[in-house]
Amino acid sequence: MTEPTQQTATRLVHGGRRREWRGKLVNVPPERTSTILFDNLADMRSSYAPADGRYRYGRDGTASQWALSEALTELEPGAAGTRLFPSGAAAVAMALTSVLQPGDDLLMVDSVYGPSRHFCDGELKRLGVTTRYYPPGLSSDELRALVTSQTRALFLESPGSLTFEVQDVPGLASAAHELGLVTLLDNSWATSLFFPAIANGIDLSITACTKYIGGHSDVMLGAVTASTDRFDALDKVVRQWGVAVSPDDAWLALRGLRTLDVRLRRHEANGLAVAGWLAEHPRVARVLHPALQTCPGHEFFTRDFSGASGLFSIVLNATATERDTVIDALQLFGLGYSWGGFESLVCPVQLKGIRTVADPLEGSAIRLHIGLEDPADLIADLDRALARI
Ligand SMILES: Cc1ncc(COP(=O)(O)O)c(C=O)c1O
């Protein structure tokens, strides 16, 4: 266990490395099991209540999952604990499930990740929960005007998916608490390293560990880190729904977490180099990168975040067909979903069906994930591709 006074880079390296879990090894090894064998009945009975660090049954985890959970909790000052999920999408769904009941009203940001929206409009609706979408630029006063006696929770994602609007998370969270709402944030873009969500007033901080925590495009995993008020409800939902993640996946994610600081800072530097070059290109109308002034909510990014990751979008001065020509001409950028791995990726931005408050893009847009390649090579690749139109 690390000390809260230690710097984040230190907590990233030492978090969750309890001697009783790793023995003499540097790393906690993957522990695969279903059954745990007890010494005798007294031993079995003493482990009756499940808890991290208490070997009980495979579904309750082993050191592989506990070490990752503990390391993630230690990154979030003020957090009570973390629960793991088989994907980021499952983490979003379960975090919401731990808060909402039939009849409740949820305020959801319009720029939320598409599948999170589909969960609200599908499963939550089926369970009798109403979802209302609000614009990412919502102010605290506007939030107060939206809340009714049924409103139970405020969900934020900052920056937003595909369009990267940065929200006033501390301001909205503080107003939400005054109004008695539970706050949830999809924090996958910045991670707890660049934005410690619990310390900024969030109750449930959600991370798609598939992205930067794993960091190598070889694992699907999600995590929810909870405040003291919300941890027990989250834990209960996880156990009652029987959610369990593989020890191998937890082990891979923990391995990725150890180098998050160096990787993320390189993603940031490379991303800024590429974004800066694109901002000057005549075929680029706008760069939607939170660290650039052209991005909505840039002032909140400057105030609240200690760094940027490598994911952003650009709007082209081009038709949709020309946009597709650029994408197909790229050689170093892989064409595929997801992001957060060591490699650069590209995908077209499609907002149809996943924005209801407003479509903030007036052109053909592309999302880029800037990997750990030399940015000069990435710029040369983009230059070649843009010259095709
Ligand atoms: C912002 C955001 N949240 C959550 C997810 C879901 O994560 P996963 O792919 O692990 O389900 C994604 C995936 O792209 C995402 O971009």
Residue 132 lies in a domain: yes
pLDDT in tens, 19-51: 999 999 999 999 999 999 999 999 999 988 899
> What's the 88 CA to ligand 1 centre distance in angstroms?
5
- Domain holding 191: CATH number? 3.40.640.10
Q: Are residues 270 and 250 in the same domain?
A: no
pLDDT at 48: 85
Q: Is the CB of 220 under 6 A from ligand 1?
A: yes
Q: Is the pLDDT of residue 103 over 90?
A: yes
Q: Of 257, 282, 303, which closes a domain?
A: 257
Please give the single-letter amino acid code of residue 9: A
Q: Facing residues of 226 across strands?
A: 81, 204
CB 146 within 8 A of CB 118: no
Q: Is the CB of 188 under 6 A from ligand 1?
A: yes
Domain that holds residue 59: 8-257
- d(Cα 276, Cα 9) in Å, to the nearest integer? 27
Nearest ligand 1 atom to alpha carbon 210: 10
Q: Are residues 130 and 212 in the same domain?
A: yes
Q: What 3-state DSSP class applies to 299?
A: helix
pLDDT in tens, 307-359: 999 999 999 999 999 999 999 999 999 999 999 999 999 999 999 889 999 87
Residue 100 lies in a domain: yes
Q: What 3-state DSSP class applies to 207?
A: strand
Nearest-CA neighbor of 263 among 9, 89, 11, 84? 9
Residue 104 lies in a domain: yes
pLDDT at 2: 80
> What's the 208 CA to ligand 1 centre distance in angstroms?
5
Q: Are residues 240 and 218 in the same domain?
A: yes
- Domain holding 311: CATH number? 3.90.1150.10
List the catalytic residues.
Answer: 59, 113, 186, 211
pLDDT in tens, 243-288: 999 999 999 999 999 999 999 999 999 999 999 999 999 999 999 9
Q: Confidence class of residue 362 from pLDDT cuts 50, 70 and 90?
A: confident
pLDDT in tens, 149-197: 999 999 999 999 999 999 999 999 999 999 999 999 999 999 999 999 9
Residue 296 lies in a domain: yes
Q: Are residues 198 and 278 in the same domain?
A: no
pLDDT at 346: 98
CB 355 within 8 A of CB 110: yes
How many domains, in total, are found in the chain?
A: 2
Residue 2 lies in a domain: no
- d(Cα 200, Cα 192) in Å, to the nearest integer? 11
Q: Are residues 191 and 266 in the same domain?
A: no
Q: Are residues 251 and 270 in the same domain?
A: no
Q: Are residues 118 and 224 in the same domain?
A: yes
pLDDT in tens, 74-100: 999 999 999 999 999 999 999 999 999
Q: Is the pLDDT of residue 206 over 90?
A: yes
Q: Is the CB of 161 under 6 A from ligand 1?
A: yes
Q: What 3-state DSSP class applies to 5?
A: coil
Alpha helices in the chain (DSSP H): 8-14, 19-22, 41-46, 63-74, 88-97, 114-119, 125-126, 140-146, 169-178, 191-194, 228-240, 247-257, 260-279, 298-304, 320-329, 375-386
Q: Of 222, 257, 292, which closes a domain?
A: 257
| CA angle centred on 93, ends 91 and 94, rounded to 5° | 65
pLDDT at 186: 99
Which residue's alpha carbon is at the smallest distance from atom 10 of ligand 1?
Answer: 88
Q: Are residues 28 and 173 in the same domain?
A: yes
Q: Is the CB of 217 under 6 A from ligand 1?
A: no
Q: Is the CB of 94 under 6 A from ligand 1?
A: no
**Residue in 158, 162, 210, 368 to alter for ligand 1 test, most ligand atoms within 8 A of Cβ:** 210
Q: Is the pLDDT of residue 131 over 90?
A: yes
pLDDT at 323: 97
Nearest ligand 1 atom to alpha carbon 161: 1
Q: Is the pLDDT of residue 299 over 80?
A: yes
Residue 3 lies in a domain: no
Residue 1 lies in a domain: no
> Hey, what's the torsion of the CAs at 72, 14, 86, 111, to 10 degrees?
40
Q: Is the CB of 186 under 6 A from ligand 1?
A: yes
> What's the 384 CA to ligand 1 centre distance in angstroms?
30
| Residues contacting 44, CB < 8 A, separation 6+ | 38
Q: Are residues 83 and 134 in the same domain?
A: yes
- d(Cα 360, Cα 347) in Å, to the nearest integer? 18
Q: Is the CB of 111 under 6 A from ligand 1?
A: no
Q: Are residues 273 and 236 in the same domain?
A: no
> What's the 177 CA to ligand 1 centre distance in angstroms?
26
Q: Are residues 304 and 361 in the same domain?
A: yes
**Residue in 109, 249, 338 to alter for ligand 1 test, most ligand atoms within 8 A of Cβ:** 338
Q: Are residues 56 and 201 in the same domain?
A: yes
What is the distance between the terminal CA atoms of the chain, rounded to a whole angstrom? 55
Tokens of 306: 């200690």
Tokens of 317: 């001065």
Which residue's alpha carbon is at the smallest distance from atom 15 of ligand 1?
Answer: 113
Q: Is the CB of 208 under 6 A from ligand 1?
A: yes
CB 79 within 8 A of CB 225: yes
Q: Of 218, 240, 257, which closes a domain?
A: 257
Residue 111 lies in a domain: yes
Q: How many residues are given for the chain?
A: 389
Q: Is the CB of 89 under 6 A from ligand 1?
A: yes
